[in-house]
Amino acid sequence: MNAARFGEILRLLAENDVEFIVVGMTAGVLQGAPVTTIDLDIVHRRAPENVARLLRVLREIDAVYRHDRRNLQPKESHLVSPGHQLLTTAYGDLDCLGTIDDDLGYDELLGSVREIELAGGVVVKVLSLPALIRSKERAARPKDLAALPALRATLDEISRRPPDADS
Amino acid sequence: MSSESSADEWIPSERDIDENGIDRAQIRAMLALSPADRLKRIEEFVQSLLEIRQLNERRTIR
């Protein structure tokens, strides 16, 4: 990884019509949670045509497996699987997740997303805060449980805002 | 401005800290930002970690 430019990764994915959902703590931050993370997690649609578009972007940002000294590049067979591809890129660490919470893929998560506009009019799908909280509750690892109070408090603060407040 | 009052600005009011120790003022400050600016905060955090990591790689162990 040479730099942390998650916004650039998201822009490239969106402009190349990759179907994906931002999950993990970046989804929390985008919705106002005062938490932090060192990577960008996405769940991508595993249809072959979408994986082909995703692969084009991954090649453009020099994506290789993060914990592999051979600098192996992800392939179609990896990205159509439900597994987690932990990558490092020129713009930061990127996890391409086939599914989360054991078996929830892109299509299953679509009902729990909201669209958020970033710089330059780039619109991305982001796992909603309630769904992110449910996901962290199910995962129940110490790091997930540690994040829950901040995520729940953010949801509570949003509920106290005027309905027209941009969140 | 005295150094004391300057330091006080960084101490959240007790009423902003909820029963779980979460600083609600920090959340409200995040909510006041645009999503793009929130994303920029993560990028700045990770960038600072990268710089620390690179500085450590250059250190000579004597």
Q: For residues A100 and A158, give the distance between their C-alpha atoms in angstroms, rounded to a whole number.
A: 25
Question: Where residue B3 falls among pLDDT bands split at 50, 70, 90?
Answer: very low
pLDDT digits (tens, 9 = 90+) for A45-62: 999 999 999 999 999 999
Of A50, A43, A54, A51, nearest in space to A131 by CA: A43
pLDDT digits (tens, 9 = 90+) for B4-62: 445 455 555 667 899 999 999 999 999 999 999 999 999 999 999 989 988 888 776 66
* In A4-128, alpha helices (H): 6-15, 24-30, 48-60, 76-79, 106-109
Q: Is A95 on the interface with B (CB under 8 A)?
A: no
* CA closest to A36 among chain B residues: B42
- Whether residue B47 and residue A36 make contact (CB cut-off 8 A), yes or no, is no
